[in-house]
Amino acid sequence: MSNHDNKIACDTHGNSNATFICQHLASGDGLGFNLGYDKDNPDELCPDAWCDKCEEVLDAEGEWNEKSEAFADIKVMCEHCYEDIRERNWIQDDDVYHDLVTNCFAFIEPLHKDFINKYNVGNYERWDWHQEEGKLIFSNNGIPELEAEIHFSGSYSTKSETWMWAWANSSLEEKVKSSSRAIKELGEQLGLKQLVAGRWKASEIDGWEMTSILAKVLNAIGLYRTQTKNGFIYMAITNVRWLT
């Protein structure tokens, strides 16, 4: 159950990263989706997963032993299949999710409008980010004018139509992505897959909604996104100052 560097050839998705799930989940529906994180790799995209029945056996046994492992009979699964299986089996209260999104959006929307108006965001010739410092600089005529303190929530891929939380993205610097882990923790408390899953099928709107949750938690003043090759990187802005 531990070697996560292995690749697997999936009939549907081709060569993919291998993941590990209990025997019941693959063909199951609404069985629950419990996660076991690798302590050495807590940011992994697809932690080992098992159903609620397996969780009961694991609870009764107190550990993974002969009996609980035999009951789970862990199978290797392609990471994309894993994500489909998670979608089918995860149980959550969708009202909790919708209330959270609504509240966070209501919090940030008026602040964000003020931020856009007050700082003329949208009227700069260019932006440059400095991930190591967690800064986004807006410039006109080659002169830096505005400096924003940024926290990446995640990115949206127009190619795969997926959202990926910043913490799950190994190409991003720790300084700008560390805040996003607070949302994962919140998701674990509330049992919400959208907050816990590193990557999931989504729309650009989901990107704004996830970013507004981060904004609420950070008491941010605005949201922003920048274009990438295959989509956008979304961020919450917690502070801003004029440079001129």
Which among 45-53, 113-121, 123-131, 134-142 is the span making contact with Zn ion, rule CB under 5 A? 45-53
| DSSP assignment letter at 84 | H
Contacts with Zn ion by CB under 5 A: the residue count is 11
Q: What are the helix and strand counts (H, E) for the chain?
A: 8, 12
Q: Which of residues 54-93 bind Zn ion (CB under 5 A)?
A: 54, 78, 80-81
Task: CB nearer to Zn ion: give 56 or 114.
Answer: 56
Closest contact distance (angstroms) between CB of 12 and Zn ion is 5
Residue 26 C-beta: closest distance to Zn ion, Å = 10
Candidate residues 49, 51, 146, 233; the one interacting with Zn ion per rule CB under 5 A:
51
In the complex with Zn ion, the residue whose CB is nearer, 160 or 226, is 160
Q: Which of 4, 10, 124, 175 binds Zn ion (CB under 5 A)?
A: 10
168 touching Zn ion, by CB under 5 A = no
Q: Which of 13, 88, 175, 193 binds Zn ion (CB under 5 A)?
A: 13
Looking at beta carbons only, is 23 or 226 nearer to Zn ion?
A: 23
CB atoms within 10 A of CB 229: 7
31 torsion bin: left (phi>0), alpha (psi -120 to 50), beta (else): alpha
Stretch that binds Zn ion, among 2-10, 109-117, 147-155, 195-203 (CB under 5 A): 2-10
Q: Tell me how far apart the alpha carbons of residues 117 and 19 are, in angstroms, rounded to a whole number.
A: 46
Rounded to whole angstroms, the Cα distance separating 54 from 28 reads: 13
Compute φ and ψ for 168, nearest 5 degrees. -85, -5
Asked if 165 and 179 touch (Cβ cutoff 8 Å), the reply is: no
> Of the listed pieces 16-24, 57-65, 106-114, 186-194, which binds Zn ion according to CB under 5 A?
16-24
CB 208 within 8 Å of CB 215:
no
Residue 9 backbone class (left: φ over 0; alpha: ψ -120 to 50; beta: rest): beta
Which residues form the interface with Zn ion (CB under 5 A)?
10, 12-13, 22, 24, 50-51, 54, 78, 80-81
